[in-house]
Amino acid sequence: MDFKTEFKPLTVQPEEIEGISFQMIDDEVGEHNYTPEQYRVVQRVIHASADFELGKSLLFHPKAMEAGIQAIRSGKKVVADVQMVQSGVNKTRIEKFGGEVNVYISDPDVMKEAKRLNTTRAIIATRKAIKEAEGGIFAIGNAPTALLELIRLIKEEDAKPGLIIGLPVGFVSAAESKEELAKLDVPFITNIGRKGGSTVTVAALNAISILAEQV
């Protein structure tokens, strides 16, 4: 038997493909309890991951969307835990309002201090970031230790972020760090369980920046 089939490339434009994808997502998600603004994040997270379970597990602090949009419009800094998040974010929209996207994990002083204290660079980078990004957005998609350290600093009133996008992926402390984040009365976007990652963190942040750009 001949199983060969003729490959027919798509002839639609990227914008059309995205629109078709979003319609498919809407159809499969069906009814939901998210606000229209929150759903924009859910939609883009699913689009980035093709994971409906992950998208439907997102949790939003009641003030998360308002806080994130306001932080971007006010030109507050965005702090990424790793370069992958920094690379994926649409920086043009952030910079339009005077903001910037920073990552500190590979800074020489961070690496030196982490070695001296025998701890993770993510922890030291978080300590550095809170001094430079008060009221900013912390986008954490890879390092649970960064999220746990940020939570500790918030409890000790040393950190005052505008919004935390806490979606680290992994098996060690990822789910636990997000559970702790969900207990805080600070604006956050997180999810239940081990799933997450830099790609979905970028998707969430880009969704907020798109909303911020819409007047």
Phi, psi of 96 (to 5 degrees): -55, -30
47 labelled catalytic: yes
Q: Of residues 29, 47, 63, 210, which has the active-site annotation? A: 47
| Per-residue pLDDT at 1 | 47
Print burial letters for 17-32: b (CB count within 10 Å at least 16), e (below 16). Answer: eeeeeeeebeeebeee
119-155 confidence digits (pLDDT tens): 999 999 999 999 888 999 999 999 999 999 999 999 9
Segment 42-55 mean pLDDT: 95
| Per-residue pLDDT at 7 | 53
Q: Is the pLDDT reported for residue 67 higher than 80?
A: yes
Q: DSSP assignment of 90-123, as one string?
A: -HHHHHHTT--EEE-TT-HHHHHHHHHHTS-HHH
Percentage of the chain modeled with pLDDT above 90: 85
At the top level of CATH, the class of 59-213 is alpha beta
Segment 98-102 mean pLDDT: 95
How does the average pLDDT of the chain come out, rounded? 92
More confident residue, 14 or 96: 96
Q: Is the pLDDT reported for residue 26 higher than 80?
A: yes
84-93 confidence digits (pLDDT tens): 999 999 999 9
Q: Which of 144, 205, 201, 138 is nearest to 175 (CA)?
A: 144
Q: Could you tell me the pLDDT band of residue 17, with boundaries at 50, 70 and 90?
A: confident
Element of type H or E holding 163: strand 163-166
